[in-house]
Amino acid sequence: MKSIFHKYSDDTWKGVIPIIPPGYDASKYNLVFDQHSHTIYSDGFLTIKQNVEWHIAMGYTALAITDHNNMRHLEKVEKIKKEYSEKGILILSGIEYTTIRFHFNFLGISKWNERIPYKPNDDKIVKTINKIHDQGGIVVCNHIPWSLYEEKYRNHPTREKLLEWGVDYVEIVNDDCKPENVFDKESYDFCNLHKGAIGMITGTDMHSPDGLASGGVHGWTLLNLNDITEDALLEELRKKNTTILYSRTPFRDRRVIKKARQ
């Protein structure tokens, strides 16, 4: 894990007024979700608690911890879930299944004990997706433009293949891409064409709160739950019943803006 606790603390976002996502209607939606973020348990810069505090400051009321290829964060997440659920903040455990073909997020799973192959074949991928669904988890294909145009993955599955495999969501907005790759218009159109079969979702992909490649936060995923619980969130996600907000202009951490003005 990274030894960078000197830069951030649990109080770094204390007193910061949370951002209100542009166009957010609290009478229609009661949860603002980020499905993709990292911590010191992989290549992120924040502890679990700091990650949650940053998300609150950026207008989110629910988030997923999706460290690369491991779930060593599980024990820590479980310890703070209750503290934040009492404040109306939900935290999902997950993993970013990271290969040189694609990156998938698996959300809402409680364990991972398999070796992740460097270049999985299609059969292995389908079996893995089925195992996640058997656990009640959600499968998301992350940042397709980043994979194709920045990392130049040569054997990335097509959107049609993702649909055939039973992938639940495509990440339409990713904030750790180059600005031109943040909004995935092709996937947006594809998901609209196949509405109900494959859903849209957004992810900050936050590794460092001060280092998002896009310059800030552009997307929020909105849901309306009957109960503000982890089970209710996962149930609504399984219905693929999400709305996304996208801002062409990035929203920056107000802590950073305040500091810059001083």
Does 189 fall in a domain? Answer: yes
pLDDT at 1 (0 to 100): 43
CA dist 46 and 52 (Å) reads 9
Place of tokens 């196949």: 194
Does 23 fall in a domain? Answer: no
Q: Which domain range does residue 179 map to?
A: 31-261
pLDDT at 258 (0 to 100): 54
Flag residues of the chain having pLDDT under 50: 1-5, 260-262
Does 14 fall in a domain? Answer: no
Name the β-bridge partners of 202.
173
pLDDT at 113 (0 to 100): 87
Does 175 fall in a domain? Answer: yes
User: The domain that contains 76 carries what CATH number?
Assistant: 3.20.20.140
How many domains, in total, are found in the chain? 1
Does 6 fall in a domain? Answer: no
